[in-house]
Structure 1
Amino acid sequence: MKLLAESTCKAIINAPLERIDLTEWLFSLKDSEYQACSSDHIVAGNSIADNGKRMSINVEQIAGNLLIQHYVEEVSQRDHCMVQSISDSITATGKTKLHIVWELKIKKLNNTTCEFSNHVAVNSTPDFINLLESLKITDYKLVTNEMLQNLVKHNTEETPLFAKNIEEKALKEIWL
């Protein structure tokens, strides 16, 4: 497994840390709320993985790449949520899989303000390497540079909108 691209974006949430629960936010995010956080977002839902852990299922299309993500919870804390997915990736050049790690964190800045961090890391899988080899692509930098640009653009769009959604729910005291 090789890291292909990663991006971290941050945004301010004007709500006390004690009113926020990132894990509950992620696993209760409504489809319409997910769609409102990026023009790339198509659908979101929740399920239970075979191992009994919660799963966030997201579908998005980034730069022509249709991604079907099956994020399984790995870290489930109020201020830190990490999920991982072996995601289906469908493009004009073929269907493959990517290993994606999505990590959300909150850091208290003062009694009424927090910093939200949205980190996404995209890793290769054997399927992905096989697809590149079948396409006679040997210069991975071309692929990873484009992937990085698309990831940063997407993360830059969704992070402040995720933060706003979290802030609205925190101020309504949803998680108290």
Structure 2
Amino acid sequence: MKNKFFQQQTPSAKYSERFVQNFPINIPMEKIDLYKWFIEMNDIDYRSYSPAHKAIGSYFRNEKFFMTNVENIGMDSVIQNYELKSHAANSIQMYSAKSKVYIWRWFPVTVGVPWEMYVQPVSSTSCRFICMIGVDYPNALLRIANWFNGLGGLFLRKHLKKEGKAFALDIEQKFSL
């Protein structure tokens, strides 16, 4: 499968938004196996990356990798059921077609959530970790309502910045050995 980083969308996702952050890693890209790091992530690891992270579980079925995570972003609780769409040593592309978002932790709506990560070389001794998270809304009304509820993406950007920095530090630590 060909990677389409930062452009992943479902056929009906014309009401989408994407947020991207990048973080330095002080080891060469060649030392990192992002796929290995990702599939070995456990609940303790996941919760250590952000106080908003509540739980994670993952498994393989018919040689496909699946991950479910629960987190609070802003005023919302989110349950995501990801399927690994593509991967390489330096890239991961996941998609949750039916994430449940509980607005104000009460009103459920279903959205699609792409999650993509990759590492890119900067020099012979460093690289950058790039993380994208998005939301595919089923209609314009829900997108507009979430824009107001999420303060124009402020909560999601803030969450991505915090967890992405923690991901990068963990990757650097685990592959520096």
For residue 171 of structure 1, what is the aligned residue in structure 2? 176
Q: Which amino acid counterpart does residue 60 of structure 1 have in structure 2?
A: E
- Give the Cα separation in 1 of the matches to 2:142 and 2:99: 23
- Give the Cα separation in 1 of the matches to 2:163 and 2:142: 30
- Give the Cα separation in 2 of the matches to 1:156 and 1:116: 12
For residue 3 of structure 2, what is the aligned residue in structure 1? none
For residue 90 of structure 2, what is the aligned residue in structure 1? 79
Larger Rg: 1
Deviation of the 1:64 alpha carbon: 2.4
Deviates most, 68-77 or 89-98: 89-98
Task: Give % identity.
Answer: 25
For residue 164 of structure 2, what is the aligned residue in structure 1? 159
Runs of 4+ in 1 over 4 A off after TM superposition: none
Map 1:103-122 onto structure 2 (within 5 A): 103-122=116-135
- Structure 2-normalised TM-score? 0.82
1:20 pairs with 2:20 = no
Matched residues, number: 161
1:59 pairs with 2:70 = yes
For residue 135 of structure 1, what is the aligned residue in structure 2? none
Deviation of the 1:140 alpha carbon: 4.4
Other structure's SS at 1:144 match: helix
Q: Structure 2: which 5+ residue stretches go unaligned?
A: 1-12
Deviations 1:71-128 (A, max 9, x none): 1111110111100002111234521211000000110111210110000111013xxx
- Structure 1-normalised TM-score? 0.83
* Contact 2:137/2:143, CA 8 A, preserved across alignment: no
Q: Structure 1: which 5+ residue stretches go unaligned?
A: 133-137
* Contact 2:74/2:156, CA 8 A, preserved across alignment: no
Structure 1 residues 98, 142: CA separation in 2 closer, same or farther (over 3 Å shift)? closer
* Contact 1:6/1:148, CA 8 A, preserved across alignment: no
* Contact 1:27/1:55, CA 8 A, preserved across alignment: no
Structure 1 residues 66, 140: CA separation in 2 closer, same or farther (over 3 Å shift)? closer
- Give the Cα separation in 2 of the matches to 1:72 and 1:139: 24
